Amino acid sequence: MVMDAPMIEIIDLHVRYGRKSALKGVTLDVRKNEILGIIGPAQSGKTTLLKTINRTIDDVVGATVTGIVRVEGEDVRKIKNVYGLRRKVGVVAPLPVGLPISIFDNVAFAPRMAGIKDKADLEQRVERCLTQAALWDEVKDRLHTLGTKLSGGQQQRLTIARALSHDPEVLCLDEFSIAIDPVTTMRIEDVLKELRSSMTIILVTNLVQQARRLADRTAFIFNGELVELDSTERIFSENPAHRKTYEYVNGIFG
């Protein structure tokens, strides 16, 4: 049986911030249309890993990167149009960063920048993305109010809608539920399960049970090193490949 080429390949990835090592020889793959969970204690390098995929690491002063990161077979370090890469790989940050413009314009911003001007097309896209982010019903009657006036949880969902607005092939979520109440978190988790059919999702989370609920496979990163990558069922079993994995997912440390 021939396996499909992975959506993302990471090979021997090292990242340093000055003299500090953030990632140490990480090698892993992300399959098309899967949810890959990435777990590990704080300061393990999980966010750094996401930054290397869409090259926001370029904006970090003092960061050095070696190794290979490929998206659909293309080495991201060799891509000249970094903005095209970032449209393909959308990232949702841990805390909401709403633009100081209307809710509608927050979601329409990226499509307009990509050249979409038709009003009906934009309206349809905004509704679709807000619906996917479980926000439409709450804001449909006030789309022209400032996005920054929304609650923290609503702003986080607005950030997700904005990430979806340019139809990314990969959606990276970095602790998306940190500012969202449990009920809203579960609603967005349901959305992510549906989105899996149309895109690849990388879910960085400190909530190990969230990875257990959502991820097809889970990677455990500790102190900048990949300890284990396997099916989520195996990672959360009584017998993962590494004892440290068992101890982390069962709250013995972390």
Class of domain 8-249: alpha beta
* Ranges of residues in the chain whose predicted pLDDT is under 50: 1-2
State residue 1's pLDDT score. Answer: 41
Reduced 3-state DSSP string for 12-47? EEEEEECCEEEEEEEEEEECCCCEEEEECCCCCCHH
- Where along the chain do its domains lie? 8-249
State residue 66's pLDDT score. Answer: 97
State residue 2's pLDDT score. Answer: 45
Which of 110, 111, 108, 103 is closest to 135 using CA atoms?
103
Judge whether 93 and 179 are in contact, CB under 8 Å: no
Structure tokens belonging to residue 141: 């009657």
State residue 180's pLDDT score. Answer: 79
Query: pLDDT digits over 83-106, tens only?
Result: 899 999 999 988 777 789 999 999
Query: pLDDT digits over 29-38, tens only?
Result: 999 999 999 9
Unique residue bearing structure tokens 């990226």:
110
Share of the chain above pLDDT 90, in %: 76
